[in-house]
Amino acid sequence: MAMRTLRAICVLAAMLSLGSCQVLAVVFGSVFPSTTTLIKAQADLSGLIPSDSGGSFHVRVVESQGYGYVVVVGNPQSGSEAFFYDLDLNQKATFTSGLAGDAMMVDASGNIVLGSLLLNPANLKIVGTTNAANLNSPNGGGVDGFVDTLANVQVTAFGINSSNTLNYASFTTAWTFISSHITTLSTSLSNLQIYAILDDGKAPGNVTFVVGPQANNNTARCYFFSTAKSNFAVATNVLDSSPLYRDNLYTNSLGYAQGSIFAYDSGSSSFVRIDPSTGSTQNSYYDASASSNSCFAYRISGGSFYGFDTNTRVLKKYGQWW
């Protein structure tokens, strides 16, 4: 009895000296996650994705012809799967067969491309298939392809091989293969990976690539370079002359909105808005509770962004913080 009374006196003293919010942090051993205040909706996918498969999924936002979707898509051992939600996280469609890949983009006709499937954005009905049977995804952020509106071609199937060359393919608007392309990114860097392909959503507009060495626990130094989508081509050795880069970024947190790159910086424990022309931080949002198991996707126009926790398999909509 005396011990319980002593504990109560200690807690009361802490409340008087620290304030109630601080004492909650002392008693329960944690700080209330700041992103909790940004949560607008959530969807639990634990009944759709087994616990041992969560790590093979990522999240995309696709918008076309006035329709927008948040898509949790992946390639577990059972085959590619995709779960479509509207922008308020109401489930709209599920695809568990016939995808032939887990990449996503919007093509020149405004169709949503899911692997080898072409979907009508108004109702998500299958309206055709692509000749790019394996639209492989980098499993990073942004998109998996874009339209070169000036040359009237579709560019996708990106990858980096062991000699640091960027490989990609171009297709006609009807998805007939045109050619493969190879560009050397660097003669000095090694083991580069693609972490994000960030389309600014404009025509002709620009696309920003985020690449870097092999991540450690989803954290890496990330290099940025941008190029025009019109007559798309990447300059040779673009990363060998004063490249822009940032350290300590979660590679699965990268996104693009309102002209800026977004990511989570593990060094400052903050979400950061990055100027793609300088690599500098425009503003930030502190959140020490963020996990490297969470991947994010952003609406190009801003307003909201989305996080998917590969451990809990919970998808969340967050309000804009910047």
pLDDT at 144: 94
* CA–CA dist 42, 96 (Å, integer): 22
Q: Tens digits of per-residue pLDDT, 200-218? A: 999 889 999 999 999 999 9
The values of phi and psi at residue 192, to 5°, are -75, 145
- In the DSSP assignment, the letter for residue 246 is E
Predicted TM-score (pTM) of this structure: 0.88
For residue 36, give both structure tokens.
């909790």
pLDDT at 140: 84
CA angle 61, 64, 294 (to 5 degrees): 0
Question: Which has the closest alpha carbon to 117: 129, 135, 103, 105?
Answer: 129
Average pLDDT of every residue of the chain: 88
* 265 burial level (CB within 10 Å; 0-12, 13-18, 19+): buried
Q: Which domains does the chain have, with CATH numbers?
A: 1-30 (no CATH), 34-319 (2.120.10.30)
pLDDT at 22: 34
pLDDT at 50: 96
The mean pLDDT values, 10 residues at a time, for the chain of 322 residues are 46 41 32 80 98 95 98 91 98 93 94 96 96 73 92 92 91 94 94 95 93 94 96 94 95 97 97 96 94 94 97 97 96
Q: How many CA atoms lie within 13 A of 211 on its CB side?
A: 23
pLDDT at 32: 52
8 A C-beta contact, residue 302 and residue 320: yes
* CA–CA dist 235, 76 (Å, integer): 35
pLDDT at 29: 34
Q: How many CA atoms lie within 13 A of 3 on its CB side?
A: 0
Q: Please give the C-alpha separations between residue 183 and each of 230, 239, 309, in angstroms, as whole numbers.
A: 17, 12, 34
Contacts of 7 (CB under 8 A, 6+ apart): none
Question: Which has the closest alpha carbon to 282: 290, 294, 274, 292?
Answer: 274
